[in-house]
Amino acid sequence: MRRRLTTAATALVLAGIGLTGPAVAAPAPGTGPAVRPATTADCPTGWGSTDKYAAGHEYRPLKNIRTGSHECYDRIVFDLGSAAPGLGYRVGYVDEFHQDASGDLIPVKGGAILQVYLTAPSYDPNTGKPTYPGRGKQSLPGVDLTGYRTFQDTKFGASFEGQTQVAVGVRARLPFKAEQVGDKLVVDVAHSW
């Protein structure tokens, strides 16, 4: 009985100084080191939900699209494989997702649709050979959103006239940010306002 009380008291003391607590799950592959659990006060929400864009005319073939779930946001990353200082992009919410060129409506699950355009075709502009296996109107290959708090669906729209179009179905019109980081376009969508 005394041993149980001592163990319980020790656990309470350690919890009080922060040495124990909820376990932090390992991050998804490629998303970075584990971080301490965030509180709502720790999470940035000042990104807003208006369109984000950068003018640019340099084309780099799209190599991969991957996602990660973090404590405060879900992330989608567009890998170009080489730096494109003149990368152009436009990211914003739309009421419906229509495929470039054809205009066909593509259903996307979720409470809101975030559309991403980037000046990165899914093919090599010099040879026409595919560099990313996305197929129009289909989910993004290799992207599994199981367990994500904000992302609910992805769809590949098209790669047409030097730009690629993708939709991300999200829970609601939540704040997001978009920025080029080296050879990547990174889009983060917050879990809450």
Domains of the chain in sequence order: 52-190 (2.60.40.3500)
Tens digits of pLDDT across the chain (193 residues): 444 433 434 333 333 333 333 333 334 444 443 344 555 558 877 899 999 999 987 888 999 999 999 999 999 999 998 876 788 999 999 999 999 999 999 999 999 999 999 999 999 988 999 999 999 999 999 999 999 999 999 999 999 989 999 999 999 999 999 999 999 999 999 999 8
Residue with tokens 């939540």: 174
| Beta-strand runs (E) in the chain | 52-54, 64-69, 73-79, 89-94, 112-118, 151-160, 163-170, 176-181, 184-190
